[in-house]
Chain A
Amino acid sequence: MLNVQIDGVWMQFPRGTRLIEACAQANKFVPRYCYHAKLSSPGNCRMCLIEMGMPKMGPDRKPVLGTDGKPEIAWIPRPQISCAQDVAEGMAVRTDSPMVRDCRHGVMEFLLINHPLDCPICDQAGECRLQEFSVDHGTGGSRFLENKVKKPNNVEVGPRVTLDAERCILCTRCIRFMQEVAHDDVLGIVDRGSHSTIACHSDRKLDSNYSLNTVDICPVGALTSEDFRFKMRVWFLKETKSFCTSCATGCNTVIGSRENTIYRQTPRENNDVNSAWMCDYGRLNFHYLHSKDRLMEPVLKTKDGHEIATWEKAIARAATELKKYRGEEIGIIASGRMTNEELWLAKKLAEALGTTLHDIVPHFAEGDDILLSSDRNPNTRGAQLLGLASAIPGEHLGAIADGVRSGKIKALLVLGEDAVEAGIATDLLNLESLIATHILPNATTKLATVLLPGSGFAEKRGSMINGKGRLQRLNRAINPPGNARDDWEILRDLILAVTGHNGIYMIEDVFKQMAASVPQLANLSLSKIGDLGVQLPT
């Protein structure tokens, strides 16, 4: 550990700590634009200037000690940047001296010289570092009388990212992100002096699957998301900590919603899962929750078509349908997109019905070596742990398909999947009863005897286990539309209707029950999972 004096207080930091981080840990936040903890430090914005000193050395090359027994400091007479400097033994820092204040004041003035006054139409307003530090360290007015430099604005640098070069302060965070994290070096600075502009390679587009992270790290409103552009001001958004359910990685996210509408998803730092990034595919994969086609009412098949029913009637009908058959005549197709709680209840239902023929539908697509996993089911590991799927997910689907085709299986329960797509296509009409839950209509739900509308990932609580065995928690950001219900409640009601008892009232109880019988989950509860998740023992 190294001794460092920060604003007159001696503290200890491990070797290799960035000075800017050391100051932050000492609760002396140093403003910064170009510095990002996950990227290299070019030191080009000059916002993090501080006053630095080293111990005064005597003729014997030993620090001169002051009257208090601590080394005397020789202050360097000019400011230093704290972002490209590691702490050293005996180093001293002043983060709020008159020189530092003057520096910040001057740097702010320089940065604002060519910055347009379009905060009212800028999506970054409200979470803009330039606004924040301008309030803290800037002046109210401008002394700049000349004409501002005009640069291109509203430029589509990529299919999902729009550039407004006038707002850019050339911190190069986006360039470094594309180089160092996305490994797709398409951004750079062109032109000189005050005409310098961020630009994309002329033959390329900023079309990487990680392009929207540049929007997150942009400290100003230069890069904005085409998807979120002008949709909602950020200060209206309710932020719910959740994680992405588009693949088995489970990147931690913040869901920004206002009055039952999700406007954006942004990554949340979790060094054990996704660092501070997430892919565009996962980030934008929430619009289906607001689809006009969402299933909102339970639907029963009648002799002459379909009718909307109450939940009581629908559950009762589903239970009578299921009770008609023996265990081996029933098949269950669950989903790797269900939470652990739902999978656990599905397993309980399977036990109550006496069926052993159940599996999940595997979804695989091309992954990459950054974050995107090839397993697009967020909870394959959970389904395996809770016994709904075997080591090879989907290996029993063939048996279910055969059973349906031969007429051995008379009733099929499809939970949040499309059985037609899973290969049980034309044979579904053979079934005497088909009970389906889903959030959107598909080929299976159209054929369902009983259709029960469930809820999407942002509309429910629950836990999932990602591809690396980390247990993470979903939180509810918005309510399910219409009469759609939490999936775990649907399954609980089905179990209740089939067996006549259970005694579960809250999702916490489901987890408690699950934790009591699954050794890997022992001593855990929904609240103990926390915001960053828990690594399960293998």
Chain B
Amino acid sequence: MAYVVPRPKLTLAEKLYLPAIVAGLAITLKHFKKALFGKGNVTMQYPEQKWDASLPEHYRGAPTLVKDEHDRERCVACQLCEFICPPRAIRIKPGEIPATNKFAKVEKFPLEFDIDMIRCIYCGLCEEVCPEQAIFLRKDYSITGLTRAEMVHDKAKLYELGGVMDGLVHKWNPKK
């Protein structure tokens, strides 16, 4: 069925168009005056100045790995993120935690964990699929490098960006 878009009824002033132009020019003039006396801040000087404080909570930046409050690597190398990753940016080599380690109960950890940030599309599926809450998209968005190798984030870099995340998963903690 055809849908008729209701058109607003315009007043004479609106139809004339001129008052709007004048109002617009007034705003321009206001900013011009501010800029002239150095009061306004119209241009943000990126990258010296950044918007980071205003980034929303749900912002999806670079994927990172996090440790828990006991300094345990949350990642157990289940490789689900490697599986789900649409651009295949993630590469994991699993390993076994030695029996002498205090987290030996967890048995498995990532020996190597690489995310190729040239491939990463910041979709956040890795965070969504993670059964151990080990991978989070943090707010780093400006990932640059001079070589392709530099753009591959290895485990050390991922933990450096990720830091510590409290709580969330308790199943590996000793039972009380």
Contact = CB atoms under 8 A, between A and B. Distances in A.
Contacts of A229: 96
B19 interface: no
Contacts of A121: 76-78, 106-108
B124 interface: no
Contact of A119 (B77, B94, B99, B131): B131
Nearest to B79: A233
Contact of B107 (A125, A154, A235, A236): A154
A229 B108 CA distance: 10
Nearest to B104: A154
A236 B77 contact: no
Contacts of B80: 120
Contact of A236 (B79, B132, B171, B175): B79
B108 A230 contact: yes
Given A119-B131, A121-B106, A233 B78 contact: yes
A125 B80 CA distance: 11
B123 to A, nearest CB: 20
Contacts of A147: 175
A506 interface: no
Interface string A208-232: 0000000000000000000001111
Contacts of B99: 154
A231 B79 CA distance: 11
B106 to A, nearest CB: 7
Contact of A230 (B83, B94, B131, B175): B94
Nearest to A116: B171
Nearest to A117: B171
Nearest to B75: A120
A125 B95 CA distance: 16
B134 to A, nearest CB: 10
Given A120-B132, A121-B108, A147-B175, A231 B94 contact: yes
Interface in A116-137: 117, 119-121, 125
A467 B94 CA distance: 40
Contacts of B77: 121, 230
Interface in B95-145: 95-96, 99, 106-108, 131-132
B11 to A, nearest CB: 60
Nearest to A120: B78
A230 B96 contact: yes
Contacts of B79: 232-233, 236
A236 B96 CA distance: 19
Interface band, chain A: 10 to 19
Contact of A125 (B78, B96, B175): B78
B52 to A, nearest CB: 33
B112 to A, nearest CB: 13
Given A121-B108, A147-B175, A154-B107, A230 B78 contact: no
Contacts of B108: 120-121, 230
A117 B106 CA distance: 12
Contacts of A117: 171
B95 A230 contact: yes
Contacts of B94: 230-232
Contacts of A119: 78, 131
Interface string A459-495: 0000000000000000000000000000000000000
A125 B131 CA distance: 13
A147 B171 CA distance: 12
A269 B150 CA distance: 48
Contacts of B76: 120-121
A235 B80 CA distance: 10
A236 B83 contact: yes
Nearest to B99: A154
A26 to B, nearest CB: 35
A424 B132 CA distance: 60
Interface string B48-65: 000000000000000000
A227 to B, nearest CB: 12
Residue of A120, A125, A147 contacting most chain B CB atoms (<10 Å):
A120
Nearest to A123: B108
A117 B95 CA distance: 20
Interface in B57-96: 76-80, 82-83, 94-96
A117 B132 CA distance: 11
Contacts of B132: 120
Contacts of B131: 119-120
Interface string A502-514: 0000000000000
A231 B92 CA distance: 10
A236 B99 CA distance: 27
Contacts of A154: 99, 107
A154 B99 CA distance: 10
A231 B131 CA distance: 19
The 3 closest A-B pairs by CB, nearest first: A120-B78, A121-B108, A233-B79
15 contacts: A119-B78, A120-B78, A120-B80, A121-B106, A121-B108, A147-B175, A154-B99, A230-B95, A230-B107, A230-B108, A233-B78, A233-B83, A236-B79, A236-B82, A236-B83
Interface of B: 76-80, 82-83, 94-96, 99, 106-108, 131-132, 171, 175
